[in-house]
Amino acid sequence: MDISRIREEFPILGRRLYGRPLVYLDNTATSETPREVVDAVVNGYTVTKANVHRGVHTLSQEATLLQEEARRRVAAFINASSHEEVVFTRGTTEALNLVASSLGGMLLGEGDELILTVMEHHANIVPWQLLQALKGFRLRVVPMHEDGSLDLDAYRSMFNDRTRLVSCCHASNVLGTVNPVKEMIAEAHAHGVPFVVDGAQAVPHMKVDVIDLDADFYAFSAHKMYGPTGVGVLYGKREWLEKMPPYQGGGEMIESVSFDKTTFAELPFKFEAGTPDFIGISALSKAIDFIERIGIDNIAAHEHELLRHTTERLLREVPGIRIFGQAPGKCAIISFLVGNEHHYDMGMLLDKLGIAVRTGHHCAQPLMRSLGIEGTVRASFAAYNTIEEADAFVEGVKRVSAMLE
């Protein structure tokens, strides 16, 4: 992997902050975007802009073709059986709200049970709670071990004849833990229970094969995988998507409408009401091109090396550091605190050194509560980060901690 060539593709990485080169380590929140993705967006606005699936005219057909090509690219990227199982949404959050509302609304009633885990992002908690207020089912929460791996014995023991659904992140956005979702899905299926995967933190960092996992649903966001903002994907198995009611009503999702009776469009359009972000969707193809050109396994190996190097240095050289999440096979996310130093002070002072990290609860307040903390500092890596940046980060943490002591 030629990192300096990869970096040239990202104009933003040339920025300087406070007289220093930008060290961007907030990739879990959003990754930066290579020029070919930006160019595809510009092309969408300057060459092919017309609404999709509506016109006989050339521009509309071109725009439609680009959108539907992206759907096929996504399907191949995650190894879905068909592009009709790929629903475009605004992001992981909307994808999970869709599943909660439509599938959850169909499966969960009074006295039923839904299994989540302690390490879920709010996007995989709150949509279920909104439904819970209407339906009165029970949430069961899988706890974790001290290293940040899930307690799988507890998970297995949670199934009973009222269990209707499981929803779990593939990778934690705080701990970096990569959950054994393939085994967890097999367990759920043995009980006849479908399984939803929040893949927001997995798709940019590891090979995801929805058939191999046997996932019933798999959600992720384009903007975390070098793609545009405002676009997400919900993969769903055809047999489920066909049974589920639409999530939103409007244009494009109907077959015919009358005031007496409305019938709905075929998959996947049944779940895509209104004009989608067709320009963003078409640019997602270019993000997939970018990942495939480097190779997802090469990206994963590079990020793991950055993780190993940075973790070793932090533990060795920063007295009083606590790293939250040390599960074997974790992905390249380091959440930490140093002594009694406040995460917010650390983040703000690192910023003054040109180093972008996230601080706070990371939209995972239940996880923070279970760790007995309010927030962490979080550094997270992507394909374009370098060992030199990892070193600048470690030096930055040492300098800031000395100041805050």
Q: Closest approach of Cβ 332 to ligand 7TS, in Å?
A: 13
Window 21-60: residues binding ligand 7TS (CB under 6 A): 28-29
* Cα 245 to Cα 111, 133, 242, 253, 258, distances in angstroms: 22, 19, 8, 11, 18
Q: Closest approach of Cβ 25 to ligand 7TS, in Å?
A: 12
The one among 187, 198, 216, 303 contacting ligand 7TS by CB under 6 A: 198
Decide: helix, strand or coil at residue 161: coil
The one among 107, 168, 200, 379 contacting ligand 7TS by CB under 6 A: 200
Name which of 63 and 197 has its Cβ closer to ligand 7TS. Answer: 197
Decide: helix, strand or coil at residue 401: helix
Decide: helix, strand or coil at residue 380: strand
d(CA 333, CA 324): 10
Based on the shown chain and the rule CB under 6 A, indicate whether residue 169 belongs to the binding site for ligand 7TS.
yes
Catalytic residue check, 363: yes
The per-residue b/e assignment along 349-383, b for 16 or more CB within 10 angstroms, e otherwise, is bbeebbbbbbbbbbbbebbbeebeeebbbbbbbbb
Based on the shown chain and the rule CB under 6 A, indicate whether residue 92 belongs to the binding site for ligand 7TS.
yes
Name which of 91 and 325 has its Cβ closer to ligand 7TS. Answer: 91
Q: Return the sign of the alpha-carbon dihedral for residues 17, 21, 23, 27.
A: positive
Name which of 63 and 78 has its Cβ closer to ligand 7TS. Answer: 78
Total Cβ atoms within 10 A of residue 333: 27
Q: Closest approach of Cβ 277 to ligand 7TS, in Å?
A: 13
d(CA 179, CA 189): 17
User: Strand pairing of 138-142 and 163-169?
Assistant: unpaired
Based on the shown chain and the rule CB under 6 A, indicate whether residue 67 belongs to the binding site for ligand 7TS.
no
Based on the shown chain and the rule CB under 6 A, indicate whether residue 101 belongs to the binding site for ligand 7TS.
no
The one among 97, 167, 221, 311 contacting ligand 7TS by CB under 6 A: 221
- 320, burial (CB in 10 Å: exposed 0-12, middle 13-18, buried 19+): exposed
Based on the shown chain and the rule CB under 6 A, indicate whether residue 123 belongs to the binding site for ligand 7TS.
yes
Name which of 29 and 300 has its Cβ closer to ligand 7TS. Answer: 29
Interface with ligand 7TS (CB under 6 A): 28-29, 91-93, 121, 123-124, 169, 173, 198, 200-201, 221, 358, 362-363
Query: Which residues are annotated as catalytic?
Result: 363
